[in-house]
Amino acid sequence: MVASALSIFGIVVLIAYELVVRSQLAWSKFGFSFFSSTYQDSFTRLPIYWDPVNGHFSALPFLYGTLVSSFLALLIAVPLAIGLAVFLTEMCPRGLRAPLAFITELLAAIPSVIYGLWAVFVLVPLLREHTNPWLIRLLGWTGFFGDDNPTGLGFVAAGVILAIMILPIISSLTREVMTAVPISQREAVLALGATRWEMIRMGVLRNARIGIVGAVILGLGRALGETMAVTMVIGNSPEIHRSLLANGSTMASVIANEFAEASGDLHLSALMEIGLALFAVTIVVNAFARLLVWAVTRGAPAQVH
Amino acid sequence: MRARMRTLTDGAATGLAVLSTILVVAPLVAIFIYLIYKGASSLNWAFFTRNPVPVGEMGGGMANAIVGSAILLAVASLIGVPVGISGGVFLAEYGRGTKLANAIRFTADVLNGVPSIVMGIAAYSLVVVPQGHFSAFSGGVALGIMMIPTVCRTTEEMLLMVPNAVREAALALGVPRWRSVLAITVRTASAGIITGCMLAFARVAGETAPLIFTAFGNVGWSGKLSEPIAALPLQIYVYALSPYDEWHRLAWAGALVLIVLIVLAVSLVRYVTSRGVLKGAS
């Protein structure tokens, strides 16, 4: 049993080892510039980043795509998730609590590919026909919503589907840390004559804030590595555009798209290095988030979620 | 005046919380109902009994993908379940409170958050590269590794729900530690542990990313572990991005089959945990 338990360490070490070894080729060729360099097309003078045929590999557009789509997802998901958690822990009638918690739990278990399927056939047409024209008209002047991509795919679509996917985890963890705040805290604030919102703000959210930050970061960790749904709606082009409606690509999506048919060792090694970066980032993000959540819930009894 | 402001703020905050709940739950329920509606109208008997047909022909099903998924999941469970359960038993029974157990629990949680595509790359370099070709076995390994942390943590949580009095009663009768653990505690929590395994099973059943470059997919039957094999989520992915209506229909049907599996698993876990591990106790 100790061996089984220790195998969990073993798995982490093994994955790290394999990824490091197999990305050696790309690492020795590009070094750190793998994550920053750009190349220039000799005819069009446009920047190119990822050209397996000519051996140009730069992970810059994928870093950009991952960050932008995850940030958009957090922007949409965090306020809603916290609102939901506040409602469920502090305001919800008892009879409604269990079904709502069950629904969010269920949605956390739906596979990524099914969200992707839904996004391709419902979300993307919706964005294309209604939301995007509206965004372009209203906010086009900022430059973030260009009208040169009529497909409806792109960062916004990826951000929205990611937000839907990370909502359940953020909200269930927020709920967990909020439940861990002792009742006496709430009672103390109420006894001073606070309204319910003041009680929530001063008694609950303030005490749980570290854990909530942890929950949000955990959601970020999920968003960074989410693969299938994003791959299906982001448009998959290794370019950097200012417009959020443009096609893009994330670290996970480029691996999903190109790994099985990589053209040559260097291409494969470059994809491995992206995988290694993704692994390292998600490990750090998750560890940090878990520590924060743990700092709040330490005293509370274990919960199944 | 001030009191009025405070009441107003309170009302506004309540309103916002309710609004965000509606904004979250309504679309999520909509997704769910849409999936069920689309899936149910696309599902038919042929889906379970026939293999994919070439483009342009009507009909066909995903029989090979369903069998393929079953084979992959069997391999995954053979790896993930024993290791996960015994790891969980260690955490809950032997290592409780120790530094080692805390470190393992922490690592398991972190491993749970590692993107599935990275697991796919790991399985690719561990199995596919040495073997020299894509195979069902490598897909099973990828899914199996993903099951370990989930099974381990749910097993631990279920064991922690067993009241200490049960352990003490066994030890007071002079039962050796290993026997009390295996025959008393694990047995008491067995329903919970089994549903925990089902949950992990249902989660990896829908995983697509780690299969793209391990199991790879296959349009026909494949009975061998050393050959590429079809899998339900992989087939859904391919069909969803194809331009053919008939394939879209099959993708929806496949999604419904996966969803049913997952709803069953989640409800079972919910039922077992809400009832408590031990009837009447705790």
Residue A31 covered by a domain: yes
pLDDT recorded at residue A304: 39
* Domain count across chain A: 1
pLDDT of A305 > 50? The answer is: no
In this structure, what are the phi and psi dihedrals at residue A269, rounded to the nearest 5 degrees?
Answer: -65, -40
Which ipTM value was assigned to this complex?
Answer: 0.87
- Quick check: B255 and B236 in contact, CB under 8 A? yes
Beta carbons of B31 and A18 less than 8 Å apart: no
Chain A residues in contact with B213 by the CB 8 A cut-off are 259-260
The verdict on a CB contact (< 8 Å) between A87 and B21 is yes
| Cα(A215)–Cα(A209) distance, integer angstroms | 10
Mark which residues 12-41 of A lie under 8 Å from B by CB: 12, 14-15, 18-19, 21-22
Tokens of A172: 């269930």
Q: Using one digit for the tens of pLDDT, what is the confidence trace for A152-206?
A: 899 999 999 999 999 988 998 898 889 888 888 899 999 998 888 999 998 899 8
| CATH number of the domain enclosing A282 | 1.10.3720.10
User: Domain of A48?
Assistant: 2-297
- What is residue A128's three-state secondary structure? helix
Is A304 contained in some domain?
Answer: no
Residue of B nearest to A259 (CA): B213
Residue from A2, A6, A11, A103 to probe the interface with B (highest B Cβ count within 10 Å) = A11
| A303, part of any domain | no
- Cα–Cα distance between A299 and B135 in angstroms, integer? 46
Tell if the CB–CB gap between A255 and B206 is shorter than 8 Å: no
The string of pLDDT tens digits covering residues B183-241 is: 888 888 888 888 888 888 888 999 999 999 888 888 888 778 888 899 999 999 999 99
Rounded to an integer, what distance in angstroms lies between the CA atom of residue B141 and that of residue B144? 5
**A177 within some domain:** yes
DSSP A188-220: HHHHTT--HHHIIIIIIIHHHHHHHHHHHHHHH
What length is written for chain A? 305
User: Phi and psi (nearest 5°) for B56?
Assistant: 100, -30
| Chain A to chain B Cβ contacts (< 8 Å) | 265
B135 within 8 A of B227, measured Cβ to Cβ: yes
CB A123 within 8 A of CB A223: no
Nearest Cα residue to B237 out of A115, A246, A223: A115
Q: Is residue A80 part of a domain?
A: yes
Assigned CATH class of B64-275: mainly alpha
Q: A60-64, A98-102, B197-201 — which is least confidently predicted?
A: A98-102
